[in-house]
Structure 1
Amino acid sequence: MLVSLLIVPLIGSLLLLLIPENNRKNEEKMKVIALSTSLVNLFISILLWIQFDSSVSDYQFILEFNELSFCHLNIGVDGISLYYVLLTTFITPIALLSNYKNIYKNLKYFLISFLILETLQIALFVVLDLFLFYIFFESVLPILFIIIIVYGSGVNRIRSALLFFLYTLAGSLFMLLAILQIYSYVGSTDFQFISLNEISLESQKILWLAFFLAFAVKTPLWPLTGWLYRAHADSPLAGSILLAGTILKFATYGYIRVLINLLPDASHYFGPLVQTIAVVTLIYSSLATIIQQDTKSLIAYSSIAHMSVVILGLFSNSIQGIEGAILLSLAHGFVSPALFICVGGIIYERTGTRIIHYMRGLVTFMPVFTILFFIFTLANTGIPLSLNFLGEQLSLIGIWNKSPIIAALGGLVLYFLLVILYIYIIDCHMDYILLIWKPIQDISRLEFNLLIALLIPTILLGIFPNVILDSLHLSVSTLLYNI
């Protein structure tokens, strides 16, 4: 079944290549093929979820190919990677639909790019080999680089794409060196084989710093945040959705699968450093949010703040903290794409601007949109009954048991950020009209369905979190290390 998840998008890509891109009818056919392919993959991932046995902590649906001498092509899922696979298959059709009606140039290659990205992302979450993890971690870079340049809307999109590419590539080079060093230590890059071998604390420290630098860029953590808001501002809407929904989860998954799982002693040793960097990032992103006038940049900085809380939960060495971090990362994968659809899609297409002060009075013309935008804003601020609330609370409770001062500081700064977000976005809905606007159409049925599709899991999983937590308990408990 895992093989099907990897192959189906590639089959869809091959079908798209066979269709000539020369008329309107063929373009509609290509859209249908791409969307159908992504929906089939979503259906397969749901079947995978149904068949997953949450009573064991081992990897399941394992497929092995050990004919290669330099790496083991093994794939499998556990209770942690399962939900990132589900998130990827859920976000991909939404990303395709978000630009369903406004991509005309090179449509075929736009659709193929996102189907290939789906395969690469799923592969990252299911491979059980450290070298293959690095390959798939980096494999999305050239495709996203091209997407931002070719299909982006910003005047500085080439610079933004270069920053995104160079930041991530430079950080990941240290990860490659660390992987080669691990291979020299244990003679393998297989996750399970490495976990059975002991690495000295001094060696773990060096390896940990190399991996941490790569993941800190992708998170991103201060002072490596400069690429994210630029990439969001200048990429197409589908690119922003994918970047916020799944690409930023690469680092979260890397912290869990590599640092905490394979290098536990170094993770404990560098715990105070990570907590300090996370809080500094949280303060920095909160202050940076105040001065933002572009709504995409504002949401990008709020994403940095939320990912900082995820880091606090991950390095709490507690079941509550790690599970809260996973919940918050999944919630961010629902809410942040929805906000990008609101500001980078719906509002921008109607007004031609993302400047906050030019959006006042939209509630007069767009009442349905305003209600949905308001709900997602509240969810992003961590209102109770949303998945964001549970993720933030569990993350902060987890870190409280280890460092009450860090937890209190993180909670206060996060509250400050959320108040700013609330005030800024509600300011767009004030009931008076700037004279430059003519009557604007409310959201279409497609836009409404996209937002509802993201709202349903945000609320339902916030009310019934055990749907996820029951499958996480055993896998998370194996990550805890003795102090």
Structure 2
Amino acid sequence: MMASDMASSTFPWLSLAIFVPILSGLLVLALGRDERPEFTRTLALVGAIAGLLVTIPLYTGFDPSTANMQFQELAPWIESFSVNYHLGIDGISLWFVLLTAFITVIVVIAGWEVITSRVAQYMGAFLILSGLMIGVFAAQDGMLFYIFFEATLIPMYIIIGVWGGPRRVYASVKFFLYTLLGSLLTLIAFIYLWHASGGSFEIQKWHDVQLAFQPQILIFLALFMAFAVKVPMWPVHTWLPDAHVEAPTGGSVVLAAIMLKLGAYGFLRFSLPIVPDASHSMAGFMIALSLIGVIYIGLVAIVQKDMKKLVAYSSVAHMGFVTLGMFVFNQTGLEGAIIQMISHGFVSGAMFLCIGVLYDRMHTREIADYGGVVNVMPRFVTFLVLFSMANSGLPGTSGFVGEFTVIMGAVEYNFWIGLLTASALITGAAYSLWLLKRVAFGPVTNDNVRNMQDINGREFLVLGVMALAVLFMGVYPKPFTEVMHVSVDALLQHVAVSKL
């Protein structure tokens, strides 16, 4: 079948991408038992792989020459309020659907031996969360988007609260309240847009609504409260380090690789196209917050003593590149922001997997408790070196592609802003290499490290797949960029036209 035929196909690929993992998760919850964990894990893995397989036709059948929504599905849902079950993807959202399905498989394999209690509930929560996050990226109805966006909180709240560390209840409640409170203002903005568009929740119709400047500013601020918390941007980032430190490894991977992208995606899908004049007016404010996040939070990361907290702060810094790239309003910056989101999914997810490998052996995340790990775990440290280099933006890795493209976009916008953005590469290298030096190199410092075993076949598979993704995107980013180019260009043209 040709790409254009596939793109216009009525086969519900997006519904399958959403509901295969959700139904698989429910099946795991129904049939899984702690008395037979191997069956439960196998069932979860089959569900995760099935969820990944049904997303592949979205890529193979995608037509990159058009900015129109593809693989659309439309059915009336709540007719009295004109709420529709409307799905579709474009070049901006395609890779996030694929990334979500891919990371879900990684997380299921990563938790294979580590999770020994409530295995069915753990695996089921991740599968359901996967489907809900794909729903966020595919929703073309505002209310449908909001329902998926809020529903993602529930599985992650449970994952942190049940399988997390000693302060898991505090961290899960803080995560839930921060993200929920911000989203309530978004609901008010959506209701206003429903009224302004003549009683429609269709996102594409909202893009064409003529709004005065003052309502645009108010809507921008309402959307900002939800999306900035989710990214998270400075100064509403404080929930993230706590959530990461207390979450199990799989929770940290999904949180960093996918959930943070929900907020950035919200800016792309709602803030920029619906309130373009307000977006331009608030660009200086957004760039300032992004630069603070990139530079200041990078410095905060350097002084961390907990490995997870260090990588959590580095996530905030890297996501600062994303929001900065969006608000310089040029093709290079915006494409760089999307590339950085995808790359961050690979790199930060891999870093948290590496920390999980160490924690499973030593049950500590304190950097001071390690040292000389390369002497006993050479295969593991090979991966850790690669991911640390990618985290610091080494050329040839995915981390370089995203950050360099955003910096070029920032220079195109304003040389001094580009220079400040580029300075973050120094702090990125500092905290990444400082972590690597203290954990991996030097003499073995204690007997606990001396007794550690190198990675097994399952861990090698997980880290190896992530390494291939990081290197492939770093060496050959074209498959990632070519699908988004036309959609990004259309978005920028739309945002450039004043609605006043």
TM-score relative to the length of structure 1? 0.97
SS of match in other structure, 2:72: strand
What are the within-5 Å matches in structure 2 for residues 262-273 of structure 1? Answer: 262-273=274-285
Q: What does residue 335 of structure 1 align with?
A: 347
- Letter aligned with residue 433 of structure 1: V
- Letter aligned with residue 321 of structure 1: G
Q: What is the alpha-carbon distance in structure 2 between the residues aligned to residue 270 and residue 164 of structure 1?
A: 27
SS of match in other structure, 2:71: strand
Q: What does residue 125 of structure 2 align with?
A: 113
Shift in Å at residue 22 of structure 1? 5.5
Q: What is the alpha-carbon distance in structure 2 between the residues aligned to residue 242 and residue 172 of structure 1?
A: 20
1:419 equivalent in alignment to 2:430: yes
What are the within-5 Å matches in structure 2 for residues 160-199 of structure 1? Answer: 160-186=171-197, 187-199=199-211
1:473 equivalent in alignment to 2:485: yes
Q: What is the alpha-carbon distance in structure 2 between the residues aligned to residue 372 and residue 348 of structure 1?
A: 16
Q: What does residue 157 of structure 1 align with?
A: 168
- Letter aligned with residue 38 of structure 1: A
SS of match in other structure, 1:58: coil
1:99 equivalent in alignment to 2:100: no
Q: What does residue 209 of structure 1 align with?
A: 221
Q: What does residue 43 of structure 1 align with?
A: 53
Shift in Å at residue 221 of structure 1? 1.1
- Of 254, 257, 278, 2:266 maps to 254
Shift in Å at residue 290 of structure 1? 2.2
Q: What does residue 429 of structure 1 align with?
A: 440
Tell me, which stretches of 5 or more residues in structure 1 are unaligned? none
SS of match in other structure, 2:395: coil
Q: What is the alpha-carbon distance in structure 2 between the residues aligned to residue 444 and residue 160 of structure 1?
A: 31
Task: Give the conservation status (yes or no) of the 8 Å contact 1:305–1:414.
Answer: no
Q: 1:326-375: per-residue Cα shift (whole Å, max 9, x none)? A: 111101100111111111x2111111211112110111101111111001
Q: What is the alpha-carbon distance in structure 2 between the residues aligned to residue 142 and residue 463 of structure 1?
A: 38
Task: Give the conservation status (yes or no) of the 8 Å contact 1:271–1:315.
Answer: yes
What are the within-5 Å matches in structure 2 for residues 387-466 of structure 1? Answer: 387-437=398-448, 438-466=450-478
What are the within-5 Å matches in structure 2 for residues 267-346 of structure 1? Answer: 267-343=279-355, 345-346=356-357
Shift in Å at residue 20 of structure 1? 5.6
Q: How many aligned residue pairs are there?
A: 479
Q: What is the alpha-carbon distance in structure 1 between the residues aligned to residue 289 and residue 327 of structure 2?
A: 12
User: Sequence identity, in percent?
Assistant: 35
Shift in Å at residue 27 of structure 1? 1.9
- Letter aligned with residue 164 of structure 1: F
TM-score relative to the length of structure 2? 0.93
Q: What does residue 139 of structure 1 align with?
A: 151
- Letter aligned with residue 482 of structure 1: A
Q: What does residue 368 of structure 1 align with?
A: 379
1:231 equivalent in alignment to 2:243: yes
Task: Give the conservation status (yes or no) of the 8 Å contact 2:295–2:427.
Answer: no
Q: 1:21-64: per-residue Cα shift (whole Å, max 9, x none)? A: 262xx321111111111111111111220011111110011110
Considering only aligned residues, what root-mean-square deviation do their CA atoms show, in Å? Answer: 1.3
Task: Give the conservation status (yes or no) of the 8 Å contact 1:282–1:414.
Answer: no
After TM superposition, where is structure 1 displaced by more than 3 Å over at least 4 residues in a row?
none
Task: Give the conservation status (yes or no) of the 8 Å contact 1:174–1:210.
Answer: yes
- Letter aligned with residue 229 of structure 1: P
- Of 42, 47, 62, 1:52 maps to 62
Q: What is the alpha-carbon distance in structure 1 between the residues aligned to residue 347 and residue 310 of structure 2?
A: 14
407-416 vs 456-465, which deviates more? 407-416
Task: Give the conservation status (yes or no) of the 8 Å contact 1:374–1:426.
Answer: no
Q: What is the alpha-carbon distance in structure 1 between the residues aligned to residue 32 and residue 297 of structure 2?
A: 46
Tell me, which stretches of 5 or more residues in structure 2 are unaligned? 1-12
Shift in Å at residue 17 of structure 1? 3.8
Shift in Å at residue 423 of structure 1? 2.0
Q: What is the alpha-carbon distance in structure 1 between the residues aligned to residue 446 and residue 154 of structure 2?
A: 44
Q: What is the alpha-carbon distance in structure 1 between the residues aligned to residue 421 and residue 62 of structure 2?
A: 35
Q: 1:99-138: per-residue Cα shift (whole Å, max 9, x none)? A: 1112122111111111111110110000101122111111
Q: What is the alpha-carbon distance in structure 2 between the residues aligned to residue 22 and residue 161 of structure 1?
A: 24
105-114 vs 268-277, which deviates more? 105-114
Q: What does residue 134 of structure 2 align with?
A: 122
